[in-house]
Amino acid sequence: MLQRNRRSATTLGLSAVALAGALSLTACASDDNKTGTTTANGSAATGGTPSVTCGKGGTLLGAGSTAQANAMDLWKTTYSAACPGTTINYSGGGSGAGIQQFTQGKVQFAGSDYVLKPADVEASKAVCTGGKAIGLPMVGGLVSLVYNINGVDNLVLDGPTAAKIFNSQITKWNDPAIAALNPGTKLPDAEIQSFHRSDDSGTTYNLTSYFAKTSGGAWPAAPDKAWKGTGGQSANGSAGVSAQIKQVDNSIGYVELSYAQINNLKSAKISTGAAQPVEATAANAANTFATSTVVGTEGDLALSLDYGTKADNAYPIVLVTYEVVCDKGNKPDSLDTLKSFFTYTISDDAQKAIGDKGYVPLPGTISSQVKTAVTTLA
């Protein structure tokens, strides 16, 4: 993950077991943990779930990352049910499109799977009156290498081999490099059909960050939200890539784990140098998040992720989706609802709820910093 010049690093200490628990969906908790729910005007209602402290109502607009779209669908449904005077609209389009819409003042927040770049922060000053954009980590996840190969149910890949596949240097499934990683597996003598994102994507950024760290030079470019590989076919968004992998024989692509689960797609194990190849699971991604650090400055909570981990049971291709907001200068008519909604999404209940959807609840040492940051938005 791209790191800022000035760093303030905080090592995460929460155990992986606590991170990966997949618990049932509940509404969010208010600061005083009262029971019941509240309506959009703040009046209490009866009920048995923790309360949602609703904002002033109205419509809140967000756009960007498709990796977090399934989490947002769950969150906005729960929040809107508790706060019937509020509508949360979130459209995908990719991280790049979301940041562009944010800096143009078209949405109140953007979802991005990569940290803000200096140019993004500078552009945000036009819409963040007296302030600037910051990124708040909200959704933890992982990038799954999904495949549809005739007769293969248990595929293992590593950094160099995967990079060569996606850069069209390896073109057959029975290539010796793939066979060496999969002894005893009958690989077909078939052309590899690889799919990548057509849109500017944080998922692409995180995958190519993994390639840059682990491919030994096989990947030809620096990490980027735009696809820089040679050959292959493109599809729009994680949903588009997932649809192609389902339909096309002998194909491979990359999507956030929740899309792999929803579409019943097989995910490759990753050989990292650990004792055993690592499965693409939330629990294994949690082991990687447990060693992450905060490197953002001036209110930004950008994380550094260890794509090159060789620890046992640590899945290396992880991602974090940041909610991009103004630290100051948010629109007055939506600020209260913005803070209310993010207070919910970073709550323990909301984080645990998305753990059941293929995501990784953020470590407590990170979520506590996000909770504090949300209260300071102005």
Three-state secondary structure call for residue 145 = strand
Tell which residue, 118, 156, 147, has the closest CA to residue 135: 118
Residue 47 confidence (pLDDT): 36
Torsion-angle region of 93 (φ positive above 0: left; ψ -120 to 50: alpha; else: beta): left
**Tokens 């090159």 identify what position?**
308
The two tokens of residue 359 are: 């995501």
One of 3.30.70.980, 3.40.190.10, 3.40.50.300, 1.10.10.10 is the CATH number of 143-285, namely 3.40.190.10
- Band of residue 51 on the pLDDT scale cut at 50, 70, 90: low
Q: What is the arithmetic mean of pLDDT over 206-210?
A: 97
Model pLDDT, residue 30: 30
- Residue from 143, 128, 253 nearest 197 by CA: 253
Q: Which fold has domain 16-139+326-376?
A: D-Maltodextrin-Binding Protein; domain 2 (3.40.190)
Report pLDDT for 39.
34
* Strand 293-294 versus strand 303-304 pairing type: antiparallel
What are the boundaries of each domain within the chain?
16-139+326-376, 143-285
Average pLDDT, the chain: 87
pLDDT tens digits, 286-301: 999 998 888 999 999 9
Mean pLDDT of 99-114: 96
Q: What is the mean pLDDT of residues 66-81?
A: 94
CA pair distance 352, 19, nearest whole angstrom: 9
Within this chain, domains 16-139+326-376 and 143-285 share the same CATH topology: yes
Instruction: List, in sequence order, every residue forming a beta bridge with 58; answer none if it has no partner.
Output: 86
